Amino acid sequence: MTLIVLCLHATQHYNKFSTFQVMIAVRPITLVMSKISYKDKVRIETLWKLGFGYQTIVPKFPEKGWKLCSVKALCKWADERGSATK
């Protein structure tokens, strides 16, 4: 869920103290992630095994739109299971 601050305004009370009221709206955000193809999984796994880090792999392929957390999860999966494609 996302918390969005819509408006901040001051109100005056009878005792001359100012208080602030915050009007907020809560709405869910839908994240659209592209699926990582089989070839991309193999590419990421290979680079990972060659010693490249997450923050090195992601910027090398900006057109793919990979998120750092997705690449990290895939590399962790490859370490735990032996392969990112199984």
Q: What is the pLDDT of residue 86?
A: 78
Long-range contacts of 71-74 (CB under 8 A, 24+ apart): 71/44, 74/36, 74/41, 74/44, 74/45
* 26 within some domain: no
Average pLDDT over residues 21-31: 51
* 9 within some domain: no
* 68 within some domain: yes
- Are the C-beta atoms of residues 40 and 78 closer than 8 Å to each other? no
* 1 within some domain: no
Q: What is the DSSP letter of 31?
A: -
Q: How many domains does the chain have?
A: 1
Higher pLDDT residue, 78 or 1? 78
Q: What is the pLDDT of residues 32-86, one digit of tens each?
A: 456 889 999 999 999 999 999 999 999 999 999 999 999 999 999 999 998 988 7
Nearest to 67 by CA among 26, 75, 9: 75
Q: What is the pLDDT of residue 53?
A: 94
- Are the C-beta atoms of residues 33 and 67 closer than 8 Å to each other? yes
Q: What is the pLDDT of residue 85?
A: 84
Domain that holds residue 61: 38-81
* 75 within some domain: yes
* 45 within some domain: yes
